Structure 1
Amino acid sequence: MISAALRASSLAFHSPRLGSLPLHHRPLSSPFIARAALATQAQSTATASPVIGIRREDKNRWERRVALTPAHIRKLIKETGARVLVQPSNTRIFNNASFEKAGAVIEEDLSKADIILGIKEVPIDKMIPNKTYLVFSHTHKGQPYNMPSLQAFLDKSIRLIDYELMTDPATGKRLVLFGKHAGYAGMIDGLHGLGQRLLALGYNSPFIHMGQAHVYPNLECVNTKLRHVADIISDQGLPDAFAPMVFTFTGAGNVTQGARAIFDNLPHKNVTADELPFIARDRYNERYRTRLLALQIGAQDYLERIGGGSYDRAEYREFPDRYRSVFAQKIAPYTTMLINGIYWESKYPRLMTTRDLADIQRQRNLKHRMLAIADISCDIGGSLEFMSHASTIDAPFFYVDAVNGVEHKDIEKPGVQINSIDNLPTELPFEASKHFGNSLYPFAKSLASDKLAADPVLSKAIICENGALSKLHRHLEKDLLSVGEIRVADKRRKRVLLAGSGMVSQPLVDYLASSKDTDIKIASNDLDEARRIAYQFPNTEAALLDVSDTLGLDKLVRDSDVVVSLVPAPLHPQIAHSAIRNGKHVVTASYISPEMQKLNDQARAASVTVLNEIGLDPGIDHCSAMKLIDAAKARGSKIRSFISWCGGLTAPEDSNNQLGYKFSWSPRGVMTAGLNSAQFKINGQVRHILEKTLFENKFANVPLYPGFAFEGLANRDSLQYADIYGLKLDEMDTMFRGTLRYQGYSDILNCFLKLGFLDLDPKSAVDVQLPRKFLATVVGFDDGIPLNVDTIRKILRQRLGGIADPALLERFILACEEIDILPAEPSQLPSTNQRLKAPTALDAFSQLLQRSLKFEKEERDMVCMYHEFGIETPEGKYDVESSSLVVYGNNETGETAMARTVGVPAAIATRLLLEGKIQTKGVIRPTIPEIYNPLIERLEQTGLIFSEQAKQGIHNSLQHKMAWN
Structure 2
Amino acid sequence: MLSALCAPAASARPRLRGCGALISRLRRASLATQAAHSKPLVIGIRREDKNRWERRVALTPAHVKDLIAETGAQVIVQPSNTRIFNNASFVAAGATINEDLSHADAILGIKEVPIDKLIPSKTYVIFSHTHKGQKYNMPSLQAFLDKGIRLIDYELMVNQEGKRQVLFGKHAGYAGMIDGLHGLGQRLLALGYNSPFIHMGQAHVYPNLECVHTKLRHVADIIEDQGLPDAFAPMLFTFTGSGNVTQGARAIFDDLPHDNVTVDELPFIAKDRYNERYRRRLLALQVGAQDYVERIDGGPYSREEYREHPERYRSVFATKIAPYTSMLVNGIYWESKYPRLMTAKDLAHIQRQRELKTRMLAIADISCDIGGSLEFMSHASTIDSPFFYVDAVNGLEHKDIEKPGVQINSIDNLPTELPFEASKHFGDSLYPYAKALALGDLKHPVLSRAIICQDGALTKQHKHLEESLASGLRVVNTRRKRVLLAGSGMVSQPLVDYLASSKDTDITIASNDLTEAKRIAYQFPNTVAAHLDVSDSAALDQLIKDSDVVVSLVPAHLHPRLADVAIRRGKHMVTASYISPEMQKLDQAARDAQVSIISEIGLDPGIDHCSAMKIIDEAKERGAKIRSFISWCGGLAAPENSNNQIGYKFSWSPRGVLTAGLNAAQFKANGQMREIPEGKLFENRFSSVPLYPGFAFEGLANRDSLQYADPYGLDLDTMDTMFRGTLRYSGYSEIMDCLLRLGLLSLDPKSHVSAASATEFLHRAIGMSKSSGDLRHFIAHRLALPANDPLLDRLLLALEEFGMLSTDASPVTAATSLDAMSKILQNSLKLQTGERDLVCLFHEFGIENLDGSYDVQTSSLVAYGDSESGETAMARTVGIPAAIATRLLLEDAVTTRGVIRPTTKEIYEPLLKRLEGKGLVFAEHTKSGVHNSLQRRMKWT
TM-score by length of 1: 0.56
Q: CA separation in 2, counterparts of 1:269 and 1:776? A: 59
Matched with 1:125 is 116
Matched with 1:408 is 398
Matched with 2:697 is 764
Q: CA separation in 2, counterparts of 1:780 and 1:359? A: 45
Q: CA separation in 1, counterparts of 2:236 and 2:507? A: 43
Q: For residue 621 of structure 1, what is the amino acid of its counterpart?
A: R
Q: 1:759 to 1:223 in 2, by over 3 A?
A: farther
Matched, 1:32 2:32: yes
Q: CA separation in 1, counterparts of 2:240 and 2:685? A: 60
Matched with 1:621 is 561
The aligned runs of 1:335-374 (5 Å cut-off) are: 335-374=325-364
CA shift at 1:105, angstroms?
A: 1.5
The aligned runs of 1:550-565 (5 Å cut-off) are: 561=481
- CA-to-aligned-CA distance 1:624-661 (integer Å, 9 cap, x gap): 899xxxxxxxxxxxxxxxxxxx953889xxxxxxxxxx
Among candidates 549, 572, 582, match of residue 648 of structure 1 = 582
CA shift at 1:14, angstroms?
A: 7.6
Matched with 1:178 is 168
Among candidates 574, 583, 586, match of residue 504 of structure 2 = 583
Matched with 1:418 is 408
Matched with 1:66 is 57
Q: 1:433 to 1:335 in 2, by over 3 A?
A: same
Q: 1:777 to 1:612 in 2, by over 3 A?
A: closer
Matched with 2:69 is 78
State the SS of the aligned residue for 1:89: coil
Moved more, 81-90 or 569-578: 569-578
Matched with 1:806 is none
- CA-to-aligned-CA distance 1:79-137 (integer Å, 9 cap, x gap): 11112111100011111111112121111122222322111222333233333222223
| Contact 2:187–2:401 (CA under 8 A) maintained in structure 1 | yes
Matched with 1:750 is 679
Q: For residue 165 of structure 2, what is the amino acid of its counterpart?
A: L
Among candidates 128, 136, 152, match of residue 161 of structure 1 = 152
CA shift at 1:143, angstroms?
A: 4.5
Q: 1:838 to 1:349 in 2, by over 3 A?
A: closer
| Contact 1:344–1:383 (CA under 8 A) maintained in structure 2 | yes
Q: 1:665 to 1:93 in 2, by over 3 A?
A: closer
Q: CA separation in 1, counterparts of 2:95 and 2:88? A: 9
Among candidates 75, 82, 97, match of residue 106 of structure 1 = 97
Matched, 1:303 2:236: no
Matched, 1:93 2:84: yes
| Contact 2:661–2:682 (CA under 8 A) maintained in structure 1 | no
Q: For residue 697 of structure 2, what is the amino acid of its counterpart?
A: S
The aligned runs of 1:730-741 (5 Å cut-off) are: none
Q: 1:776 to 1:834 in 2, by over 3 A?
A: farther
The aligned runs of 1:243-258 (5 Å cut-off) are: 243-258=233-248
Matched with 1:456 is 445
CA shift at 1:268, angstroms?
A: 0.3
The unaligned stretches of length 5 or more in structure 1 are 1-5, 36-44, 495-558, 627-645, 652-662, 676-687, 699-710, 712-745, 782-797, 804-832, 841-894, 904-965
Q: CA separation in 1, counterparts of 2:432 and 2:516? A: 44
- Identity, in percent, stands at 60
Matched, 1:319 2:309: yes
Matched with 1:218 is 208
Q: CA separation in 2, counterparts of 1:610 and 1:33? A: 50
Q: For residue 32 of structure 2, what is the amino acid of its counterpart?
A: F
Q: 1:133 to 1:577 in 2, by over 3 A?
A: farther
CA shift at 1:72, angstroms?
A: 0.5
Q: For residue 172 of structure 2, what is the amino acid of its counterpart?
A: A
| Contact 1:378–1:421 (CA under 8 A) maintained in structure 2 | yes
Q: 1:154 to 1:333 in 2, by over 3 A?
A: farther
Matched with 2:759 is none
Among candidates 127, 130, 135, match of residue 136 of structure 1 = 127
Matched with 1:239 is 229
| Contact 2:76–2:104 (CA under 8 A) maintained in structure 1 | yes
Q: 1:110 to 1:601 in 2, by over 3 A?
A: farther
Matched with 2:766 is none
CA shift at 1:277, angstroms?
A: 1.7
Matched, 1:600 2:521: yes
| Contact 1:337–1:370 (CA under 8 A) maintained in structure 2 | yes
Matched, 1:198 2:136: no
CA shift at 1:384, angstroms?
A: 2.0
The aligned runs of 1:614-763 (5 Å cut-off) are: 618=558, 621=561, 648=582, 668=604, 694=659, 748-753=677-682, 763=696
State the SS of the aligned residue for 1:92: coil
Q: 1:674 to 1:229 in 2, by over 3 A?
A: closer
Q: For residue 324 of structure 2, what is the amino acid of its counterpart?
A: Y
Q: CA separation in 1, counterparts of 2:724 and 2:476? A: 59
CA shift at 1:326, angstroms?
A: 2.2
| Contact 1:64–1:93 (CA under 8 A) maintained in structure 2 | yes
The unaligned stretches of length 5 or more in structure 2 are 1-8, 529-545, 567-579, 586-597, 607-631, 637-652, 665-674, 702-718, 732-779, 786-854, 863-895, 905-941
| Contact 1:203–1:239 (CA under 8 A) maintained in structure 2 | yes
| Contact 1:361–1:367 (CA under 8 A) maintained in structure 2 | yes
Matched with 1:612 is 550
State the SS of the aligned residue for 1:109: coil
- CA-to-aligned-CA distance 1:529-549 (integer Å, 9 cap, x gap): xxxxxxxxxxxxxxxxxxxxx
Q: CA separation in 1, counterparts of 2:28 and 2:446? A: 13
Q: For residue 238 of structure 1, what is the amino acid of its counterpart?
A: L
Q: For residue 107 of structure 1, what is the amino acid of its counterpart?
A: N
Matched, 1:391 2:381: yes
Q: For residue 250 of structure 1, what is the amino acid of its counterpart?
A: T
Q: 1:401 to 1:92 in 2, by over 3 A?
A: same
In the alignment of these two chains, the number of paired residues is 629
| Contact 1:335–1:369 (CA under 8 A) maintained in structure 2 | yes
- CA-to-aligned-CA distance 1:176-223 (integer Å, 9 cap, x gap): 111212211111111010010111111111111111111112222211
Q: 1:411 to 1:155 in 2, by over 3 A?
A: farther
Q: CA separation in 1, counterparts of 2:394 and 2:444? A: 53
State the SS of the aligned residue for 1:110: coil
CA shift at 1:19, angstroms?
A: 13
Matched with 2:933 is none
Q: CA separation in 1, counterparts of 2:19 and 2:140? A: 31
Among candidates 4, 29, 48, match of residue 57 of structure 1 = 48
Q: CA separation in 2, counterparts of 1:192 and 1:375? A: 14
State the SS of the aligned residue for 1:293: strand
Q: 1:309 to 1:396 in 2, by over 3 A?
A: same
Q: CA RMSD in A?
A: 5.3
| Contact 1:462–1:470 (CA under 8 A) maintained in structure 2 | yes
Q: CA separation in 2, counterparts of 1:763 and 1:427? A: 48
CA shift at 1:389, angstroms?
A: 1.8
Q: CA separation in 2, counterparts of 1:394 and 1:314? A: 42
CA shift at 1:473, angstroms?
A: 4.3
Q: 1:481 to 1:585 in 2, by over 3 A?
A: farther
| Contact 1:481–1:488 (CA under 8 A) maintained in structure 2 | no
Matched, 1:446 2:380: no
Q: For residue 106 of structure 2, what is the amino acid of its counterpart?
A: I
TM-score by length of 2: 0.57
Q: For residue 207 of structure 1, what is the amino acid of its counterpart?
A: F
Q: 1:227 to 1:625 in 2, by over 3 A?
A: same
Moved more, 245-254 or 110-119: 110-119
Matched with 2:366 is 376
Q: For residue 81 of structure 1, what is the amino acid of its counterpart?
A: G
Q: For residue 253 of structure 1, what is the amino acid of its counterpart?
A: G
State the SS of the aligned residue for 2:377: coil
| Contact 2:44–2:104 (CA under 8 A) maintained in structure 1 | yes
Q: 1:611 to 1:233 in 2, by over 3 A?
A: same
Q: CA separation in 1, counterparts of 2:510 and 2:83? A: 37
Q: CA separation in 2, counterparts of 1:587 and 1:468? A: 33
